[in-house]
Amino acid sequence: MARNISFKQAINEALDLEMRRDPTVIILGEDIVGGAGSPGETDAWGGVLGVTKGLNAKHGGRLLDTPLSESAYIGAAIGAAACGMRPVAELMFLDFMGVCFDQILNQAAKFKYMFGGKAKTPVVIRAMIGAGFRAAAQHSQMLTPIFTHVPGLKVVCPSNAYDAKGLLIQSIRDDDPVIFCEHKNLYALEADVPAESYAIPFGEANVVRDGKDVTIVSYGLTLHRALEAAERLAKSRVEAEVIDLRTLSPIDLDTVIESIEKTGRLVMVDEANPRCSIAADVVATVTQNAFEALKAAPQMVTAPHTPVPFSPVLEDLYIPSADGIAAAVSKITKTALAA
């Protein structure tokens, strides 16, 4: 039975269901229970934004609050995964990868290959991503391309509650290390989500809107900006097909190319910085593999190549907008937009 629940609740539900199903699933991270050793409530926070709230009451002893030592506890999650557990570690903000990246880059990602296929590391690292929270340069980055660059990691970035639940369940069951990216400005967004357990396979992009004139590809928060742009474009009789990548490693470029073969035009929207990014990668791959189908040069609509600014007026300019996406489409379809 489906109910309308938030992205945040969907994540909580996925964790709850997997902990019930599999006793090797444990959760560790900073303040994921909250109040450990403090004089007040011992289940105070449930994560800094309350995503894991209530899980401790259901699965006491399997949620471990950690000291502020990302290298130690992310590494411990990876080590435990190599020893038969299925840990879900929360890194809080993905920006904090800077202090523990070795354990992800040189340990988790490489064990299987480096050990000749004889290891598996079923760890999930959950973290908040993205701008729009007025959290400034060190708590707002879209660092997805840093992880997609590393062979051995899987990278997931859902845009809605339904996908968040199904993709997190798949991430926990997956035998490879998964970086699970949660856009903090999507946490409150609600969708119909079945109460039961379901897994969404990796590497299957979702065509969320059909169209014949242009293909807009995105993921995460900006997927919604792309849909907004598509609605606006429809008023100018431009029908945009909108594709949600959902997982970035593996990435479903077949679905993108199939769409380009129909529309002949690509606008790639990515909240990450533009250089050496997923946007650049999708544009390059489409150009290389579907050049004949293209009627115009592929466009990238991304954040600028700057850190995330603090002042709301600047931050709003930083994030790709529906207007910017519509303008890029207008340029390559040579269509004047209706007012």
Partner 1 sequence: MSSNPFPLAKAELLQAYRTMRTIREFEERLHVEFAKGDIPGFVHLYAGEEACATGIMMHLTDIDRIASTHRGHGHCIAKGVDVHSMMAEIYGKETGSCRGKGGSMHIADLSKGMMGANGILGAGAPLICGAGLAAKFRGDGGVGVTFFGDGASNQGTVLESMNLAAIWNLPVIFVVENNGYAESTSVDYATAVDSYVDRASGFGLPGVTVDGTDFFAVYEAAGEMIKRARQGGGPSLLECKMIRFFGHFEGDAQTYKAKGENELNRATRDCLKMFAQRITHTGVITAAEFAVIDREVASLIDDAVSTAKGAPLPTTRDLLTDVYVSY
For partner 1, which residue of 18, 174, 244, 315 counts as binding (CB under 8 A)? 174
Per CB under 8 A, 80 contacts partner 1 = yes
Shortest Å distance, C-beta 19 to partner 1:
13
Residue 138 lies near partner 1 (rule: CB under 8 A): no
The minimum distance between CB 120 and partner 1, in angstroms, equals: 5
Tell me the window of 1-9, 113-121, 270-278, 319-327 that interacts with partner 1 (CB under 8 A): 113-121
Asked if 246 interacts with partner 1 (CB under 8 A), we say no
Question: Which of the stretches 14-22, 112-120, 127-135, 238-246 binds partner 1 when contact is defined by CB under 8 A?
Answer: 112-120
Least distance CB 112 / partner 1 (angstroms): 5
Encoded tokens for 46: 């449930």
Asked whether 273 and 243 are in contact (CB, 8 A), the reply is no
Instruction: Say whether residue 38 binds partner 1 (CB under 8 A).
Output: no
The nearer residue to partner 1, 175 or 231, going by C-beta atoms, is: 175
Q: Give Cα 104 distance to the centre of its chain.
A: 17
Parallel/antiparallel/unpaired status of strands 124-129 and 86-93 = parallel
Q: Which of 128, 108, 116 is nearest to 176 (CA)?
A: 108
139 is catalytic: yes
> Interface with partner 1 includes 173 (CB under 8 A)?
no
Question: Where along the sequence are the contacts to partner 1 (CB under 8 A)?
Answer: 24, 26, 64, 66-67, 69, 71-85, 87, 102-103, 106-107, 111-120, 151-152, 154, 174-176, 202-203, 250
